[in-house]
């Protein structure tokens, strides 16, 4: 993962099959590695909704490729394409990248189907370079904050190659630190209720050959108290203009515990995840998901079937609790954004 296998890609197909979006089925991991071929917008919408494909950058790609699918199936009906595009954009309201991907591909609609497909594929091609730069900048900042030594890092949910087209954001930064010899161990929170940390992050860390341990979400504060964590590194699904950050539910609690113990929390995400039109986290719409995700684990009931459930997919962490928000081109620290120098 990271350089040869894309989490999501365009499959041009042939006369018999037609075009499709190819995605790694993240529901099947770690038990089975399989790639699904999504040949309709309906199939793509369902795949985004049921988390077959997930993660902010990957959802941005899904948005753009959804428009590509629509325009290839309805090349002479721009209104139909726009309607299908809106269906894709609206599936998961918190993830700003999804709508950004849709809007980017739709901007080429007047130039014809080929231009739309080319724009969507360009987004795919940019992903690894963006995330590598992002990881390099974050690794430099982690070193500045924690020292040039092997570090014990804690992460939550999955922000690796599976959350992007390739390479990853938060876990991509950890990948960069590991390449520099600066990772002693990664503690990966299991991430209830859908266990993205246990199923996906641990799988990626094993693929990377990075030392790691899995812990239940409720053990993270205890690990900090015992001195087992030097820094917390996570991704994001939407970042407000003031640095408030929406990420997988449980991130806010981690940031509160980390603040108590003086541990820096770094949020790592591409610039496309920053929503400068949303002033603060108060304006971020938080998706609430189906109650059966909590009432069951892997399809096995763990609560009475009629139990009322509160199941937000994300929470919002105030910028004041974060050491930094890092993108490939800017860093939010001390209450303000600072642009990064571009590479020569």
Alpha carbon distance 337, 23 (integer Å) = 34
Which residues, 6 or more positions from 129, have their beta carbon under 8 angstroms from its beta carbon? none
Hey, what are 337's tokens? 């954004």
- Alpha-carbon span 169 to 275, nearest angstrom: 17
Supply the DSSP symbol for 166: S
SS3 at position 252: helix
Token pair 């590991």 in the structure block, residue: 178
Cα torsion for 108, 111, 112, 117, to the nearest 10°?
-40
Catalytic residues: 237
Burial (CB < 10 A; 0-12, 13-18, 19+), residue 13, is: middle
CB atoms within 10 A of CB 308: 7
Q: Are 54 and 28 in contact (CB under 8 A)?
A: no
Which residue carries 């995700």 as its tokens? 293
Alpha-carbon distance of 225 to 69, in angstroms, equals: 50
User: For the CA atoms of the chain, what is the radius of gyration?
Assistant: 19
Residue matched to tokens 């030594």: 149
């Amino acid at each position: 993962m990271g350089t040869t296998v894309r989490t999501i890609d365009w499959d041009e197909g042939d006369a018999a099959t037609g075009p499709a979006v190819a995605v790694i089925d993240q529901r099947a991991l770690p038990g089975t590695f399989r790639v699904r071929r999504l040949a309709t917008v309906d199939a793509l919408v369902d795949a985004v909704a049921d988390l077959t494909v997930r993660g902010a950058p990957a959802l941005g790609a899904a948005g753009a490729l959804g428009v590509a699918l629509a325009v290839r199936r309805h090349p002479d009906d721009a209104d139909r394409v726009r309607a299908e595009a809106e269906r894709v954009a609206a599936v998961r309201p918190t993830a700003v990248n999804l709508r950004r991907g849709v809007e980017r591909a739709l901007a080429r609609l007047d130039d014809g189907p080929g231009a739309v497909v080319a724009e969507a594929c360009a987004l795919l091609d940019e992903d690894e370079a963006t995330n590598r730069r992002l990881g390099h900048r974050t690794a430099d900042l982690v070193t500045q904050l924690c020292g040039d030594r092997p570090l014990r890092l804690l992460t939550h949910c999955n922000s690796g190659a599976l959350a992007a087209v390739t390479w990853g954001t938060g876990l991509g930064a950890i990948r960069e630190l590991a390449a520099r010899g600066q990772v002693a161990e990664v503690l990966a929170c299991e991430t209830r209720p859908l266990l993205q940390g246990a199923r996906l992050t641990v799988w990626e860390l094993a693929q990377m050959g990075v030392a790691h341990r899995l812990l239940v979400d409720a053990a993270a504060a205890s690990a900090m108290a015992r001195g087992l964590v030097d820094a917390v590194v996570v991704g994001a699904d939407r970042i407000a203009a003031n640095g408030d950050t929406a990420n997988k539910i449980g991130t806010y609690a981690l940031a509160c515990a980390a603040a108590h113990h003086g541990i820096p929390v770094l949020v790592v995400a591409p610039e496309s995840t920053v929503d400068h039109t949303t002033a603060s986290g108060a304006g971020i719409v938080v998706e609430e998901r189906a109650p059966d995700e909590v009432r069951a684990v892997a399809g096995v009931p763990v609560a009475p079937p009629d139990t009322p459930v509160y199941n937000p997919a994300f929470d919002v962490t105030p910028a004041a609790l974060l050491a930094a928000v890092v993108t490939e081109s800017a860093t939010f620290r001390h209450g303000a954004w600072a642009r990064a120098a571009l590479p020569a």
